Structure 1
Amino acid sequence: MSNIPPTPAGLRGAVDLSSLVNRGTASPQPPAPASAAAAAPGGPGGAAAGVSDALVVPSLVVDVTDQTFQDVIELSMQVPVIVDLWAEWCGPCKQLSPVLERLAQEYDGRIVLAKVDVDANPQLTQAFQAQSIPTVAAVIGGRPLGLFVGALPEAEVRDVIEQVLQAAAQNGIAGRVQVAGGAPDADAEPEPEPLPPHHQAAYDAIEQGDYTTAIAEYRTAIAQDPHDRMAVAGLAQVSLLDRLQGATADELRAAAAAAPTDPAAQLGVADLDISGGHVEDAFGRLLDVFPTVHGAEREAVRARLVEYFELVGADDPRVVAARRRLATLLY
């Protein structure tokens, strides 16, 4: 575990948010990162209440906002709170969040999972320095602790939670919360349905860094059901990761600068833009080059734009505007 959330460079299964964290009109000071060892019993945050003083919570998995995060701080005085920063359009988040939710139930009140939608809560996104998502942190005795970025296998996530519990216990945070209505948690979401076979195979391949196999599995799923939107979005995500594998930002930007009219070079740097959260830059770059190319190159630019639309989400206003401009250029 680290005290500061890891940087996004080279991370597998994470979507960079570096250009999206300052969208709030008011941004509080980031919480001062501190190791769990710094929160000694009786010090800032104090020791946790005993099990006999257990708090009652509506659920072991809670949605929190910029306005309600103080509740998490107070709760962390009794049990460690795992914080999952995610977004609806983020493919790796859809892989990791069910794992975190399942483990939160399994630990039966020894931890609470707090979910933060980064699109709706820019202040918390900035406070946790979430340059990529999913970002996972903990709050122990009111103090933040960076854990990891990206979608990890369940066994690794479990190991991280065990380390959090050990660190919390060393600092007097060893309580247990009770769920309103008793066990099982009356407000807990039902166990998620198993993934379709090709989706599960794709996720397993992504965990191993085998993007070629993941792409093949998603394409098979789409061939079987062309309306499988999750497979379409998953294919777009893993195709982007595959294209960026082994490339460096400096190489891609140098190639684009040296050949401003070369569609291949512009496609490469657009991938870099979209992976870094620079959505409008990526759209603008490809829409600018689109009228200058023809034939197969023109189709390649159009197809890449459509792929980006899947990544960002059809309802995003930036996608709506880009689709409108693309339609104008096409017709």
Structure 2
Amino acid sequence: MVKMAPPTPQRMYLVDPAFNHMIDGRLHIVDGDSERYLGVVSTGYSASVALSPERKEIYVATTYYARLNHGERTDVVDIHDAETLSWKGEIVIPTRHAQAMAARNLLQTSADGRLLFVQNATPATSVTVVDLQARKVLAEVQTPGCWSVYPSPTTRGRFSAMCGNGSMLTVSLDDAGKVLSRKQSAPFFDPDQDPVFTNFDRIDGRFVFVSYHGKVHELDLSGEEARALPPWSLLSAADAKKAWRPGGYQLVAIHEASKRLFVGMHDKGEEGSHKNPAKEIWAFDLASRKRVERIPGHEAGVLTVSRGDAPRLYALDVEKNRIVQLDVSGPKARPLRTMKTIGETPIQLELQ
């Protein structure tokens, strides 16, 4: 078994549903420094992918059919070693795993890495809770009217889900998977007037979301009930007049050390433009809540930023399958390279 070289903050994990042959999805692992292709993990049909907190294992919640594209359905969590990409085993889960566009809010580990939360849709919504140490399903928790999994940053058996009425449901479990409490917060946004993207990033234990009209919502999900901080706007009056709006799939990225928030933005926004790629990428200082830079958008639908002292912003144009790397360690973003095409139809990008 061959181990890959020790990872750098620029190791890329690119989730590719392979839309032209979706029963054969892939996870591409690439060195962002050298652009060297390190390996591939088969992810089956309509997979969700997550990394363990210490980046030692890769989890793939996916579906397999007995006759490739039909027949008896089996849903599993496949476990791979992140150093060798070898398959370590599987955990069979209920055949309700959400067959949806790959996104980080559909599969998350608990903060300590012991549990895995899997979003289900039949289309009734629930969450399968997997004990990764015992290699077994611990529970299935019903979450009617709520979607996505946001694990507590402090408590292993606790997760939240965003609800259709603008609130956040928080469920707390005991070690055996029994529900201890279900607390629904007051609505923190109006789903009719200004919906919120389920995509998120985190800083200092808080979850950060943006709305269709450019409001930033920060939530503390550590306790038994979600606590929303006062929202603030990405837009000035002049920006609003030009109808600048957030857009994309994975449209929010935060570099925690510098407290920089990056958001994909487009002008002339309107009803239905929320998936539009970025005309510009706006950078904000989260401490002052001030915009500090407007960066060319590179038609990005997916953004992510590396950790550490020398952050790089990765901007993925999902239509052309093109990734631009930018050095964002200084006061102004500096383009580094446009990378070689990776895979076929990547839609989610995570870093080491």
TM-score w.r.t. the length of structure 2 is 0.27
Q: Flag the structure with more relative contact order, 1 or 2, with Cα contacts below 8 A and sequence separation at least 6.
A: 1
Return the structure number with greater helix share: 1
TM-score by length of 1: 0.29
Q: Choose between structure 1 and 2: higher strand proportion.
A: 2
